Amino acid sequence: MKIILASSSPRRKDLMEKLVKDFEIIVPLKDEDTKQKMCMNKLCEKLSLQKAEEVFSKTSGDRVVIGSDCMVSIKNKRLGKPHSEQEANEMLKLLSNRWHTVYTGLAVLIQKGEKIKKYVLCDKTKVKFKRLTQQDIDWYLGFDEYKDKAGSYAVQGISNVFVEKIKGNLSTIIGLPTHKLFDILKAEEII
Amino acid letter, residue 122: C
Residue 171: partners with Cβ closer than 8 Å, 6 or more residues away: 15, 177, 178, 179
Helix, strand, coil % over all residues of the chain, rounded to 5: 35, 30, 35
Q: At what angle do helices 134-141 and 85-95 cross, to 10 degrees?
A: 140
C-beta atoms surrounding 18 within 10 Å:
10
Residue 144 is a catalytic residue: no
- Compute the half-sphere exposure of residue 119: CA atoms within 13 Å on the CB side of its CA: 19
The residue annotated as part of the active site, out of 14, 33, 69, 136, is 69
Distance CA 75, CA 106 (A): 23
Q: Provide DSSP, 22-55.
A: S-EE----SPP-TT-SS-HHHHHHHHHHHHHHHH
Q: Which residues participate in catalysis according to the annotation?
A: 69
